[in-house]
């Protein structure tokens, strides 16, 4: 039961954080691009990389993403899973396409892919520093 409860609690906190942070980033960065979703996806990718390295093993080792750890379930699956969102990213990308904002669409897609890959890499490297040799 602790495993499922960890996912549920992490998911609830991630969803609330996503809503709050998304609005905060949109407020401060404007709405020219969907900055809220982009920001939470980059933040979530960095956190997921950090938690994966910290909780699941050294960088470079095979990751056991389906770990039975309640801590991984709460932080990685629940919190990060609810914080990040491919569904909102897809809908916002479609909206930019339908609005014929090709420049903004390609900027948004490129920024999301590049920044999220960079964030998960940096998070993984930082989390790996916490794993004892």
Annotated binding site for Na(+): 81, 84
**98, two tokens:** 């339908």
Residue 52 has pLDDT above 70, yes or no: yes
Close Cβ partners of 67 (under 8 Å, ≥ 6 residues apart):
55, 56, 73, 76
Annotated binding site: 81, 84
Residue 59 has pLDDT above 60, yes or no: no
Separation CA 30–CA 71 (nearest Å) = 35
- Rounded to 5°, the CA angle 47-9-91 comes to 60
Q: Domain-by-domain residue ranges, the chain? A: 2-128
Q: What is the pLDDT of residues 122-133, one digit of tens each?
A: 999 998 888 776
**92, two tokens:** 């916002």
Task: Please state the rounded mean pLDDT for residues 75-95.
Answer: 90
pTM of the model: 0.83
């Amino acid at each position: 039961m602790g495993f499922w409860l960890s996912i549920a609690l992490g998911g609830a906190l991630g969803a609330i954080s996503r809503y709050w942070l998304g609005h905060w980033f949109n407020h401060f960065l404007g709405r020219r691009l969907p900055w809220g979703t982009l920001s939470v996806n980059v933040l979530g990718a960095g956190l997921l990389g950090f938690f994966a390295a910290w909780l699941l093993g050294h960088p470079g080792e095979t990751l056991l993403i389906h770990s039975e750890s309640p801590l991984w379930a709460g932080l990685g699956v629940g919190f990060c899973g609810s914080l990040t969102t491919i569904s909102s990213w897809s809908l916002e990308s479609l909206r930019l396409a339908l609005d014929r904002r090709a420049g903004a669409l390609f900027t948004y897609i490129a920024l999301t892919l590049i920044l999220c890959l960079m964030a998960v890499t940096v998070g993984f490297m930082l989390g790996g520093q916490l794993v004892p040799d």
